[in-house]
Homo-oligomer: A and B are copies of this chain.
Amino acid sequence: MTATLSKTRLEFIEAGGRLWQLLGLPRSTGQIYGLLHLSPKPLSLDEIAALLSISKASASTGTRQLISWQAIRQVWVQGDRRDYFESVADLREVLRTAYHTFFKPKMEKTEDRLELLLATLEAEHKSGDITKDEYDFCAKRLGGIASLQDKLTKVLPLAEKFL
């Protein structure tokens, strides 16, 4: 069986693939999401692979990625032992979990790293490895980054409320 897709859905998949790609995520993963998001009914792994002309292996890894980001979910169709997938309809939900699983952890890591960096700088200052001028300059720049970082962590979660 060679199911075909409407032009709209084909173009949407194409667009989804490119959009995700420029966010640094694999194109095929974006295509899977695009396919599912415009699909009225859940699709199986084999259907996904066939419709997108990708290997089943890619379909498998792609769906697992999307599930880990909670962009799609697995659904069970009674009387069928295959796995079926459907997209999470509410995109705001997807954005929210993306923030919590992607950005937030990264922000926190950056915060820690900055702390360490400031400590290193202090140490270098005390032991006389760097001049007072270099110390002052670096401290100022690092402070600027910390300040922005701080504000971002406060503003971003707030922005969510407006969506």
A residues at B contact (CB < 8 Å): 6-9, 11-12, 15, 19, 22-24, 37-38, 40, 89-92, 95, 106, 110, 113, 116-117, 120-121, 124, 129-130, 133-134, 137-138, 141-142, 144-145, 148, 151-152, 154-156, 158-159, 162-163
Contact = CB atoms under 8 A, between A and B. Distances in A.
B24 A23 contact: yes
B8 A117 contact: yes
A145 B158 CA distance: 21
Contacts of A124: 6-8
Given A8-B117, A12-B138, 6 more contacts: A7-B120, A8-B130, A11-B117, A12-B142, A40-B133, A40-B134
